[in-house]
Amino acid sequence: MTNNQYLLNDKQIYEFIINGYLILNPKFPKHLNEKIYQKADALDTNPGDNILDEIPDLNEIWSNPKVKGVLQSLLGINYTMNPHRHCHMNEPGSVSQTWHQDGLNERHHEIKTVLGMYYPQKVTNNMGPTAIVPGTHFRNAPSDRLATYGNFKDQVLGTVEAGSIIFLHYDIWHAATSNTSDKTRYMFKFLFNKNSKATSETVSPSWNHDTSEAIKHFGLLLTTQVCRSAQSDFYKEKALREKMWDSMTGGIKLNVSRDAWAGKRRPKKNSNMM
């Protein structure tokens, strides 16, 4: 069972819907992060999907109540761990990856799969952090074009403390960056799936949902502009955010105005004017 105290709240769900990622530092014991780092460093080959056999301590990461709380909030109580997982070894002297989505560019507006990227060591700017473009889980780009793009305005570098996890929507644009330090950067990527039996009829909020809180912060979905996107993209994004919210709540309608202009104060009238 997941402890309710570790579930996300409505505002945090909105933030994930808007940005397509969130960073958590569950504060694992220092020796756990160090043990995992050392075991990864001692590997002769990359075991691919068999990484849990080589480093069973990773089970402690994904069974931590705070980690489960995030996954349950995003994917529902019956989420499952996917058999595909990978230890990403970013070696000193590496070059940046090209931008890509791990997802299949399926054009939907749900959270079907979440990536959990766990970093056992602190990752600084020069150690090849994962770069992310916020909000791009709603952008469909042909993969071959996406791979030719350079830097994006407002891209984010996942520079994190040891033991942090970045949770990402499966479709978000991201890439490993070059490691110009003298230390290997390890990142363990695990995939988590929503239970495929969950339908829009059976789904309901799997986080700490509270209607009055949800109403209070709903404006975030309508007004937050990530990466200074173009107006038409922003309109499209707003509509898709609402669809994502509907797919996660089973269509809970909040009694809020979707008119961003309603209630805007007019400039004060000059009473001396004729």
> By CB under 5 A, is residue 233 in contact with Fe ion?
no
Judged by CB under 6 A, the chain residues 124 through 143 that form the site for ligand AKG are 130
> By CB under 5 A, is residue 102 in contact with Fe ion?
yes
Least distance in angstroms from the C-beta of 97 to ligand AKG: 6
When CB distances are held under 5 to 8 angstroms depending on the partner's kind, the choice from Fe ion, ligand AKG, none that residue 110 binds is: none
CB 54 within 8 A of CB 39: yes
Tell which one of 88, 109, 122, 216 touches ligand AKG (CB under 6 A).
88
Q: What 8-state DSSP symbol labels residue 266?
A: P
Give the nearer residue to ligand AKG in terms of CB position, either 100 or 217.
100
* Part in contact with Fe ion (CB under 5 A); list of ranges 15-23, 69-77, 99-107, 152-160: 99-107
CB 185 within 8 A of CB 123: yes
Element holding 21 (H helix, E strand): strand 21-24
SS3 sequence of 109-165:
CCCCEEEEEEECCCCCCCECCEEECCCHHHCCCCHHHHCCCCCCCCCEECCCCCCEE
Q: What 8-state DSSP symbol labels residue 87?
A: E
> By CB under 5 A, is residue 242 in contact with Fe ion?
no
Tell which one of 54, 57, 102, 246 touches ligand AKG (CB under 6 A).
102
Give the nearer residue to Fe ion in terms of CB position, either 102 or 233.
102
Q: Which tokens go with 273?
A: 């004017």
Judged by CB under 5 A, the chain residues 113 through 142 that form the site for Fe ion are none
When CB distances are held under 5 to 8 angstroms depending on the partner's kind, the choice from Fe ion, ligand AKG, none that residue 130 binds is: ligand AKG
Least distance in angstroms from the C-beta of 158 to ligand AKG: 7
CB 198 within 8 A of CB 247: no
Least distance in angstroms from the C-beta of 127 to Fe ion: 17
Residue 194 to residue 112: CA distance in whole angstroms = 5
> By CB under 6 A, is residue 176 in contact with ligand AKG?
yes
Count CB atoms within 10 A of the CB of residue 156: 19
* Helix (H/G/I), strand (E/B), else coil: 49: helix
Give the nearer residue to Fe ion in terms of CB position, either 102 or 246.
102
Distance from chain centroid for Cα 273: 54
Q: Which residues bind Fe ion (CB under 5 A)?
A: 102
Q: Which residues bind ligand AKG (CB under 6 A)?
A: 88, 90, 102, 130, 174, 176, 187
